Amino acid sequence: MAGFFSRLKQGLSRSSSRLGAVFTHRKLDETALEELEDELIAADLGPAVAERVIENFRSTRFGKDVTSDEIRETLATEIARVLEPVAIPLEPDPKKKPHVILVVGVNGVGKTTTIGKMTRHYMEEGKSVMLVAGDTFRAAAVEQLEVWGKRANVPVIAGKHGADAAGLAYDGLKRATEAGTDLLLIDTAGRLHNKGALMEELAKIIRVMRKFDETAPHSVLLVLDATTGQNAIEQVRVFRELVNVTGLIVTKLDGSARGGIVVALAEQFKLPVHMVGVGEQAEDLRPFSAQEYAKGLVGGSNDLASRLLETSTDETPST
């Protein structure tokens, strides 16, 4: 398995090579600042962060000769400052048995896969897990979750194609409570093209579960696909109208990710980013580290950030 940092770096390299384009300028004049701002916006960091970074450069370095390493370091520091407050791990409440996690998001963003990865992650921490196949609209989605459940040897509450998701969630909550299970992860459908129906469905899942435990769900995680760039912003907006999103998980940060979007999300919504997905396998879920992410995003082939990344340990979080 490629290490996390090398994967993330690879995934973010598209952004970092963009960010590198402007660094051929030696003197930080008005033209250079404008180009840098354009690059930051093109890298999906969002206008607010881009502007702040530029103002910072303007007030401290204007007219001076700067090296690309200096620019990258300053940039990484600014980005880490935005990311730090949202880099919050998801700690299930040990008093809740189960701690109920509702997983929402548009079709294809990686909800089911993320649930599979979370199952493995929390089991490695010694917690017990139960799953609910709440995306009953796609038969394949139910099978997919059952495969993950079998692999991890955890119970999966599933119904027939088209079954009532709220009923399944209720059954899952009841069974997990009886069994004293630590975590109940609920998969859902992501039919955003029918917003009214989706809102109704999510509301019903929550309403029905609350008949059993009025504090459920304890977390509502919105899964976002990093490769969709600016679309992720709109998805957060829409899902927050549907349901009380408590945190984000950003997937597909391997491959051709547009990792800058995480910075824009952090700046705009201040929602916790609990974990990130860096691949399709069970082990490809990692806690979100602001520092490492910022360094990976800013990149560079032989700069301080890369050297730090190179020497970072690539191990899975210990159990």
Ligand X SMILES: Nc1nc2c(ncn2[C@@H]2O[C@H](COP(=O)(O)OP(=O)(O)O)[C@@H](O)[C@H]2O)c(=O)[nH]1
Q: Select 76 or 221, whichever has its Cβ closest to ligand X.
A: 221
* Minimum CB distance to Mg ion, residue 135 (Å): 5
Partner interacting with residue 280 (select from ligand X, Mg ion, none; CB below 5-8 Å by kind): ligand X
Q: Select 177 or 228, whichever has its Cβ closest to ligand X.
A: 228
Q: Binding of ligand X at residue 183 (CB under 6 A)? A: no
Q: How far is CA 242 from CA 18, 150, 239, 254, 289, in A?
A: 35, 31, 5, 29, 28
Q: Binding of ligand X at residue 113 (CB under 6 A)? A: yes
Inter-residue contact 242 to 269 (CB < 8 Å): no
Inter-residue contact 15 to 259 (CB < 8 Å): yes
Listed residue (189, 270, 176) closest to 223, CA to CA: 189
Q: Which of 252, 258, 286, 295 binds ligand X (CB under 6 A)?
A: 252
> How many Cβ atoms are within 10 Å of 160's Cβ, its own excluded?
9
Binding to ligand X in span 275-314, by CB under 6 A: 277-280, 284
Q: Which of 28, 141, 184, 265 binds Mg ion (CB under 5 A)?
A: 141
Q: How far is CA 196 from CA 238, 241, 273, in A?
A: 11, 11, 27
Q: Binding of ligand X at residue 255 (CB under 6 A)? A: yes
Q: Select 109 or 176, whichever has its Cβ closest to Mg ion.
A: 109
Binding to Mg ion in span 105-134, by CB under 5 A: 111-112
Q: Binding of ligand X at residue 259 (CB under 6 A)? A: no
DSSP-derived letter for residue 179 is: H
173 contact partners, CB below 8 Å, separation of at least 6: 98, 100, 184, 209, 212, 213, 216
Binding piece for ligand X, criterion CB under 6 A, among 41-49, 111-119, 167-175, 304-312 = 111-119
3-state secondary structure of 19: helix
Which residue lies nearest ligand X, judged by its C-beta?
277
Q: Which of 254, 267, 292, 303 binds ligand X (CB under 6 A)?
A: 254
Distance CA 192, CA 152 (A): 30
Confirm whether residue 46 is marked as ligand binding.
no
Q: Which of 92, 98, 105, 134 binds ligand X (CB under 6 A)?
A: 105
**Residue ranges in contact with ligand X by CB under 6 A:** 105, 107-113, 144, 190, 251-252, 254-255, 277-280, 284
